């Protein structure tokens, strides 16, 4: 999550206006060649339909995570403690559910999983934490977190740089959360992924893995499991006056070292990182008519934080949906990106 500017939203539009008018920047796929971001990734279209809108008095933005609900709708998590339900086809909101911690305070909610029973697992950067909520927003469970991943002085993590991504691996027995940046004492750019394993219906602490970003300036805002148990990993950074860097990788946890008992990750022999394969730099995608309100390497780019796999196409490619977090900032955009991703690389 980028530093927040708590400004009031400007240019707010009603949802009726957003959906009656053609959504700005929405484009459809015509030729696969003209929509290619890389040999492995194609951009079908994007949509700004929800940018600077409200629903039932709640600002629709600050979106940091996506998930497909059991009824086929989309769950979209705002990092200011709101869980939205969206129509999967038109993105129209139909519900805005406030979330809170055990003391009734807002979360810095960043990661989202819809579990097989319909409950919601939500990560927060504050402590960090992972909580299970009912469909009505009641806290049902809080998962244990290793001491080293807690925010200093309780642990070695930096505030606002903890649990960002959350995903459930195939089979539903392993939950995985990604830290955004490195712990104090670990090499810069080396990010820890924490797992939990389900035993008798509850999640217990599992293995921990290490992942290295392309550069120390890049963090991991999201991670999503693929049907074969590998991971789609977003890397994201921001440089003032230049804009965002957003890259998509495929990571394989098989054969990676369990680092839960490795105090400091310093590139020592015998510690095998998650093996990763580059899929695409989103800056290389076609603009498709996108515009940006601030400098960007590609006007399509913004602060992309959320990702979910929505299915497969007829060629076996994953349908992947991304969303950007506008930080309720008039210079940023809430934008959805519809990708097709070939993972046979």
Which pLDDT score is estimated for 17?
30
Residue 166 and residue 183 in contact, taking contact as beta carbons nearer than 8 Å: no
* pLDDT reported for residue 233: 98
Residue 263 is classified by DSSP as S
Rounded to whole angstroms, how far apart are CA atoms 251 and 65? 19
Within a domain: residue 4?
no
Bridging pattern class, strands 275-281 and 304-312? unpaired
Query: Taking residues 237-266, what's their average pLDDT?
Result: 97
Mean pLDDT of 247-273: 96
CA distance 250 to 20: 38
The residues near 79 (Cβ < 8 Å, ≥ 6 apart) are: 1, 62, 63, 64, 107, 108, 109, 110, 125, 305, 325
Could you report the per-residue pLDDT of 273-323, keeping only the tens digit for each?
A: 999 999 999 999 999 999 999 999 999 999 999 999 999 999 999 999 999
**For residue 7, is it within any domain?**
no
DSSP E strand stretches across 99-138: 109-114, 120-124, 129-133
Report CA-CA distances (Å) from 25 to 46, 171, 218, 343. Answer: 7, 38, 27, 27
Whether residue 2 is contained in a domain is answered as no
Residue 3 lies in a domain: no
In a domain, 6, yes or no: no
Structure confidence by residue, pLDDT tens digits, 128-150: 999 999 999 999 999 999 999 99
What pLDDT shows up at residue 103?
Answer: 97
63: β partners? 78
pLDDT of residue 33: 62
Could you tell me the CATH number of the domain that includes residue 85?
Answer: 2.115.10
Q: Is residue 34 part of a domain?
A: yes
* Residue range(s) defining the domain that contains residue 260: 15-341
Does residue 46 sit within a domain? yes
119: DSSP letter: -
Residue 345 is predicted with a pLDDT of 76
Within-domain flag for 5: no
Q: How confident is the model at residue 14, as a pLDDT?
A: 28
Q: Coil, helix or strand for 166?
A: strand
Handedness of CA 298, 302, 303, 309 (dihedral sign): negative
Q: Looking at the predicted structure, is the pLDDT value of residue 1 above 60?
A: no
Closest CA to 63 of 55, 51, 47, 73: 51
Q: Which of 10-14, 41-45, 157-161 has the lowest mean pLDDT?
A: 10-14
Give the count of domains, the chain: 1
Q: Give me the pLDDT at residue 245, please.
A: 98
Adjacent-strand bridge partners of 183: none
Task: Write out pLDDT tens, residues 189-246.
Answer: 999 999 999 999 899 999 999 999 999 999 999 999 999 999 999 999 999 999 999 9
pLDDT 10s digits, 160-184? 999 999 999 999 999 999 999 999 9
Cis previous bond, 153, omega within 30: yes
- Write down the pLDDT at residue 34: 80
Instruction: Print burial letters for 126-144: b (CB count within 10 Å at least 16), e (below 16).
Output: bbbbbbbbebeeeeeeebe
């Amino acid at each position: 999550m980028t530093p927040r500017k708590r400004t009031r939203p400007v240019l707010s539009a009603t949802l009726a206006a957003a959906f009656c008018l053609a959504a700005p920047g929405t484009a459809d796929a015509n030729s696969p060649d003209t929509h290619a971001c890389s040999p492995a990734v194609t951009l079908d279209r994007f949509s700004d339909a929800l940018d600077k809108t409200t629903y039932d008095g709640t600002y629709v933005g600050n979106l940091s995570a996506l998930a497909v609900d059991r009824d086929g709708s989309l769950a979209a998590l705002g990092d200011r403690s709101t869980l939205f339900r969206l129509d999967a086809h038109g993105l129209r909101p139909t519900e805005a559910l406030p979330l809170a911690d055990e003391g009734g305070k807002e979360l810095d909610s960043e990661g989202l999983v819809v579990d097989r029973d319909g409950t919601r697992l939500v990560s927060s950067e504050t402590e960090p934490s992972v909580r299970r909520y009912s469909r009505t927003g009641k806290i049902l469970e809080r998962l244990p977190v290793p001491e080293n991943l807690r925010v200093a002085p309780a642990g070695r993590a930096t505030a606002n740089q903890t649990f960002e991504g959350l995903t459930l691996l195939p089979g539903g027995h392993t939950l995985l959360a990604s830290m955004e940046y490195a712990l104090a004492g670990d090499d810069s750019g080396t990010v820890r992924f924490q797992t939990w394993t389900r035993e008798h219906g509850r999640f217990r602490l599992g293995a921990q893995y290490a992942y290295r970003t392309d550069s120390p300036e890049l963090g991991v805002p999201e991670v999503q499991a693929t049907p074969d148990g590998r991971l789609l990993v977003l890397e994201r950074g921001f440089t003032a006056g230049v804009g965002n860097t957003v890259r998509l990788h495929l990571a394989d946890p098989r054969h990676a070292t369990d680092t839960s008992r490795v105090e400091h990750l310093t590139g020592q022999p015998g510690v095998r990182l998650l093996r990763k394969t580059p899929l695409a730099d989103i800056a290389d995608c076609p603009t498709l008519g996108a515009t940006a309100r601030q400098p960007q390497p590609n006007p399509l780019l913004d602060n992309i934080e959320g990702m979910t796999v929505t299915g497969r196409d007829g060629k076996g490619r994953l349908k992947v949906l991304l969303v950007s977090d506008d930080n309720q900032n008039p210079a940023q955009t809430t934008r959805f990106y519809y990708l097709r991703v070939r993972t046979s690389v």
